[in-house]
Amino acid sequence: MLVDVYQSRKKNKNYVFVEARNGLSSIPDKVINDFGKLFLNKKIEINPGEKRIALKTDEAICHIKDKGYYIVST
């Protein structure tokens, strides 16, 4: 799954992952209000079972499919 990783300007160690084709439109207003202005940090491909530092890929994919977004705090 190709995802966009947005970073919060308000809470700079928080990231919101969304499916790349959906962009910010899949993030609820409450999340945007809590995190403040978001900027695109990077675009990455994540796959089920893949090992990544600070990201549970299976959980992320599931949340993105169900809710439209996934939040990571580092």
Query: pLDDT by residue (tens digit) across 4-52?
Result: 999 998 877 899 999 999 989 999 999 999 998 899 999 999 999 999 9
DSSP code for 28: -
- Ramachandran region of residue 35, left (φ > 0), alpha (ψ -120 to 50) or beta? alpha
What does the pLDDT read at residue 57? 96
More confident residue, 13 or 64: 64
Looking at domain 2-73, does it have CATH number 3.10.510.20?
yes
pTM: 0.91
Would you state the pLDDT for residue 47?
Answer: 96
Residue 72, beta-bridge partner list: 15
The whole-number pLDDT of residue 18 equals 97
Q: Torsions phi, psi of 63, nearest 5?
A: -65, -40
Residue 24: exposed, middle, or buried by beta-carbon count in 10 A (0-12, 13-18, 19+)? middle
Domain ranges within the chain, ordered by starting residue: 2-73
